[in-house]
Amino acid sequence: MKIFFILMFLFIIIAPFLYFLYVFKHLKYSHKIMISCITLLSLIIISIKIFIHPYHQLFFILTLIAQFYILTVFITMILFAIYQGVMYFLHKLPKRKMLIIVGVIGMIITSFGYATHYDKTKKSYDIMIHKESTLSSLKIAAVSDMHIGTGTYLQDIQNFVKKINQEQYDFVFLIGDLFDETTPIEMINDVMNSLSKIKTTYGIYAVNGNHEHYANILDQSIYEKHNIKLLNEKYVCIDGFINIVGREDVINHDSLSIDEITKGMDTSLPTIVLDHNPKRYQDVKDIADLQLSGHTHGGQIFPMTLATALIYDNANGILQKEDFSLIVTSGYGSWGFPMRLLTNCEYLDIKITFTKK
């Protein structure tokens, strides 16, 4: 996965550089040198981010600026290539001055994407579970795909904790990809310390996502020492009124089946499954009442939203089948770049009502 990560950045940085050098081959030598230096600087910053993960506020800001530049140039390349194609189809010569207009549009799109990434919204659901419980209702917060280190930093986590503590939640669920390949190791303890300040009635529960596996951040003690319970292929019954089941991400090929995980569990109780990837929801719908997932980012950037919708039965939002509900969040952060386009960064606010049919 890290190789794909590196290749993605190399393509996004180098492809526009080569494209514009070819299109504007008659540029002055000094201009070519300037473009080459900016591209090289971008490569150096991203390489440091990928391989070293510095934990420094100044470097975070520098990275955000570099990523903004990289995305703007890449989007400008795509738009200008489309413009060239249209002109070719119309048998007209493209005007190089259009690059300025296209560049401004590219900057506006990138700015909008950045603004959307940093606008964290609350998405609310009301769910009815048709099983008896000693409680009449529960209030749950759930968050997935924070991707600490990729445009989500300690201040963002602290802001999230403040938002959560303004409400009185019974549970808070962390549904994977809290960390990824760019998370500074020194930052992990600070993040967990901030999250441990979340106030709940029954506790904070977490599962791993695929990026915890890619980054090899799997030590259960990271969670335990901050009083966050990592449900690694197991379930817990809370005060005899509800089951919480945690599944390892599907990337872990040694993961247990849902029958093995829930062996001995009282399925007459309301049951919530936490599974980072929503693909396996069919496995649990006969024993669970609700599954909470993330992973998809809702596609994150249009037009990837269209491809994601084809891959998953439910890429974002709620899917209900009989008495079972699957809620997939588009996530609190972003992967690769801190950018969203026609998707939102969000956390879930879920009210569950228990009632016997």
Tokens of 171: 């549970």
| CATH number attached to the domain at 122-354 | 3.60.21.10
What's residue 252's pLDDT? 87
Burial of 190 by CB count in 10 Å (0-12 exposed, 13-18 middle, 19+ buried)? middle
- The mean pLDDT of 67-72, rounded to a whole number, is 96
Tokens of 161: 């904790």
The pairing of beta strand 242-246 with beta strand 120-129? unpaired
pLDDT digits (tens, 9 = 90+) for 227-250: 999 998 999 999 999 999 999 999
Instruction: Calculate what percentage of the chain has a pLDDT beyond 90.
Output: 83
Tokens of 215: 């980054």
Extract long-range pairs of 16-19: CB within 8 Å, 24+ residues apart: 16/73, 16/74, 16/76, 16/77, 19/77, 19/81
What's residue 96's pLDDT? 77
Nearest CA to 235 out of 224, 243, 225 is that of: 243
Nearest CA to 274 out of 259, 284, 260 is that of: 284
The pairing of beta strand 228-230 with beta strand 204-207? parallel
Domain ranges of the chain: 2-117, 122-354
Nearest CA to 179 out of 206, 150, 203, 205 is that of: 150
Query: Treating both helix axes as pointing N-terminal to C-terminal, what angle do 57-89 and 29-51 enclose, rounded to 10 degrees?
Result: 130
Report how far residue 274's alpha carbon sits from residue 326's, in angstroms, rounded to the nearest whole number: 10
Query: Which H or E run contains 273?
Result: strand 271-274
pLDDT digits (tens, 9 = 90+) for 245-293: 999 999 988 889 999 999 999 999 999 999 999 999 999 999 999 999 9
- Do 9 and 46 touch, CB atoms closer than 8 A? yes
What is the reported pTM? 0.93
Nearest CA to 67 out of 309, 339, 354 is that of: 339
Length of the chain in terms of residues written: 357
First vs last Cα of the chain: how many Å apart?
A: 47
Tokens of 202: 């029954």
Distances (CA, A) of 292 to 147, 312, 314, 338: 18, 14, 11, 24
What's residue 280's pLDDT? 94
Sheet with strand 271-274: strands edge to edge? 234-238, 242-246, 271-274, 290-293, 324-328, 317-321
What's residue 357's pLDDT? 61
- Do 208 and 276 touch, CB atoms closer than 8 A? yes
- Using the predicted structure, report yes or no on whether residue 2 has a pLDDT greater than 80: no
Q: How confident is the model at residue 140 (pLDDT cuts 50, 70, 90)?
A: very high
Report how far residue 337's alpha carbon sits from residue 12's, in angstroms, rounded to the nearest whole number: 11
Largest CA distance in the chain: 77
Measured in whole angstroms, how far is the alpha carbon of residue 51 from the centre of its chain? 21
pLDDT digits (tens, 9 = 90+) for 305-335: 999 999 999 999 999 998 999 999 999 999 9
Sheet with strand 120-129: strands edge to edge? 120-129, 345-354, 137-143, 171-175, 204-207, 228-230
Region of poorest pLDDT, from 133-137, 148-152, 213-217: 133-137
Instruction: Calculate what percentage of the chain has a pLDDT beyond 70.
Output: 99
- DSSP 8-state assignment for residue 166: T
- DSSP 8-state assignment for residue 112: H
What's residue 350's pLDDT? 98
Burial of 53 by CB count in 10 Å (0-12 exposed, 13-18 middle, 19+ buried)? middle
What's residue 32's pLDDT? 87
Report how far residue 157's alpha carbon sits from residue 148's, in angstroms, rounded to the nearest whole number: 9
H helices of 119-203, in order, are: 154-165, 185-195
Mean pLDDT of the chain: 93
What's residue 232's pLDDT? 87
